[in-house]
Amino acid sequence: MSYQTLFLSLALSAAVGSTAIQANDGKLLATSGLSQIEGAGGGGIVPWATLSGYDSQDQISISVALSQVDLEDYRLNVQAVSASFYDRIEFSLGQQRFDLKTLGGDIKMNIVGAKYKLYGDAVYSDLPQISVGVQHKILEDKAIANALGAKNTMGTDFYLAATKIHLGAVAGYNTVWNVTARATKANELGILGFGGQSRDSYQLMLEASAGILFSRHLAVGVEYRQKPDNLGLKEDDWFDLFVTYIPSKSVSITAAYTKLGTIAGATDQNGLYFSINGHL
Amino acid sequence: MRDTQLKLNKSVISITFSLLCLLTGCTTSPSSAALDAMSSADNLYQTLGGKAKINEIVDNFINEIAFDQETYAFFKDSNMQRFKDKLSEQLCVMAEGPCTYTGDSMEQVHTGMNITEANFNHGVDLFINAMNKAEIPHTVQNRLLKEMAKTRKQMLYR
């Protein structure tokens, strides 16, 4: 089955199955998180241990997200759909289109992801919620990755994430933190391929998010994502500062300032991120 | 060039982790120790507004339940006056107020109900509505919810 068909059929079955999906009472408002730029449930750039929807252990949820990061020389567009089953396992599909604003053209990549919750409940267990996940990435447009010396145009990331929400932790405000360890060969998420002349082996990268919920409807936080430099192009770690508005359990809107550093030789790629998430 | 980048990365990591530390209330962090001292000095029962405010929350909560089919199903055979008195006592004890809980254990009360995770979280939403209607500030709500969350295990799937 082609990626597009898979994407469509998951979205369709979500719509058809929506009578069976009533997950909006499964979790507390704002505890579902977002869909991160590769499609997994998480923050903006980091996959979290929490699954993408509001499902409880008796429910199924479907989430969709549209995100865009507009930088000096590039623009990243992401469409993602994910299904979370019984607050235990999540499947996600993400399609990224990376526009080359100054050079012209774009690079498309498809990402199929899965995440399995090993332990806990981010809100209610004493220890953090722990999940393992995988993201299989397939480049549709391979020319630039090949030209830059990437060893592969397909790759798989593996990650282990821990997330905890603390009720009333800082002056009565709820807080959330997440730490993720990711084994990866990806260059700029995989948009520039996998591995390179400098290195072609898995490296363990650290990612983290921290946030405060100033009300039931407003969260503010920071994220950090360490990245390898396999191509010798001075690939930078990523950083963002986000604000999320959560009017209801059906929808959330996020804006962020992103500091993505040097991408494919172009320095100071800073810009704005916008994302809209919907949950069934 | 690579050196400065590495240095920057290290500082970003240390900022992120000190933030994590603050958010989780690391005992070694002086700022969180100060916060702890602040919150223990300020008694939740007093902050909530004492017995009168607790009763107002409980009244609002019962009203929320009465208009919610899913949750009302669990209460259809209950003595609501008794529920009101015992919940009020229990919230008072949780907020470290001058009360004694004289009701049955949470396990006893909820056995046979088979409350699911979804039922529970929906109940929490109703309780938040009840606190909103009693005009309890957000940060005070969270402190009470934190105490109430400790009884969750005794209520689910029994």
Using one digit for the tens of pLDDT, what is the confidence trace for A17-27?
444 455 666 67
- B6-36 tens-digit pLDDT: 444 555 556 555 555 556 555 444 455 445 4
What is the model's pLDDT at position A31?
72
A224 chain-B contacts, CB cut-off 8 A: 12-13, 16
The share of chain A scoring above pLDDT 90, in percent, equals: 81
Confidence (pLDDT) at A53 = 86
So what's the pLDDT on residue A25?
66
> What's the ipTM?
0.82
Q: How many CB pairs under 8 A join A and B?
A: 106
Each residue of A134-156: pLDDT tens digit?
999 999 999 999 999 999 999 99
* C-alpha–C-alpha distance, residues A223 and A208, integer Å: 6
Per-residue pLDDT, A280: 87
Please give the pLDDT value at position A30: 67
How many contiguous H segments (helices) and E segments (strands) does chain A have? 2, 14
Domain ranges of chain A: 3-279
Predicted local confidence at residue B42, as pLDDT? 84
SS3 for chain B is: CHHHHHHHHHHHHHHHHHHHHHHHCCCCCHHHHHHHHHHHHCCHHHHHCHHHHHHHHHHHHHHHHHCCHHHHHHHCCCCHHHHHHHHHHHHHHHCCCCCCCCCCCHHHHHCCCCECHHHHHHHHHHHHHHHHHCCCCHHHHHHHHHHHHCCHHHHECC
What's the average pLDDT block by block, 10 residues per block, for chain B (158 residues)? 49 58 51 49 90 97 95 92 96 96 93 92 95 97 94 91
Instruction: State whether residue A120 is helix, strand or coil.
Output: coil
pLDDT band at A29 (very low <50, low <70, confident <90, very high): confident
Full-model pTM: 0.86
Residue contact A216–B23, C-beta within 8 A: no
Average pLDDT (A217-246) is 96
Cβ proximity of A80 and A70 under 8 Å: no
Q: Kindly report the three-state secondary structure assignment for every residue of A232-270.
A: CCCCCCEEEEEEEEEEECCEEEEEEEEECCCECCECCCE
Share of chain A above pLDDT 70, in %: 90
Confidence of residue A4 (pLDDT cuts 50, 70, 90): low
Which pLDDT score is estimated for A229? 96
- Give the per-residue pLDDT at B30: 44
B13 touches chain A (CB under 8 A): yes
A6-15, A77-86, A231-240: which has the minimum mean pLDDT? Answer: A6-15
State residue B24's pLDDT score.
59
Q: In terms of pLDDT, which residue wins out, A123 or B8?
A: A123
The predicted structure's pLDDT at residue B10: 57
Would an 8 Å CB–CB cutoff place A222 in contact with chain B? yes
- CATH code of domain A3-279: 2.40.160.40
Q: Which residue of B has its CA nearest to A175?
A: B23
Alpha carbon of A2: minimum distance to chain B alpha carbons (Å): 36
Q: Cβ A237–B1 below 8 Å, yes or no?
A: no
Q: Which pLDDT score, from 0 to 100, does residue A173 have?
A: 96
The answer, for A171 touching chain B at a CB cutoff of 8 Å, is yes
Interface contact B149-A167, CB threshold 8 A: yes
* Lowest-confidence segment of A2-11, A114-123, B100-109, B118-127 by average pLDDT: A2-11
pLDDT of residue A222: 97
Question: With contacts defined as CB-CB under 8 Å, which chain B residues touch A23?
Answer: 118
**pLDDT higher than 80, residue A5:** no
Q: Which residues of B touch A222 (CB under 8 A)?
A: 15-16, 19
Chain B CB contacts of A29 under 8 Å are 125
A55-108 residue pLDDT tens: 888 889 999 999 999 999 999 999 999 999 999 999 999 999 999 999 999 999
Minimal-distance CA residue of chain A relative to B144: A168
For residue A173, list chain B residues with Cβ-Cβ distance below 8 A: 138-139, 142
Any A CB within 8 A of B14 CB: no
Closest Cβ opposite residue B140 in set A27, A57, A172: A172
Using CA coordinates, name the residue in chain B closest to A28.
B121
- Residue A34 pLDDT more than 90? no
Mean pLDDT lowest among A14-23, A124-133, A155-164: A14-23
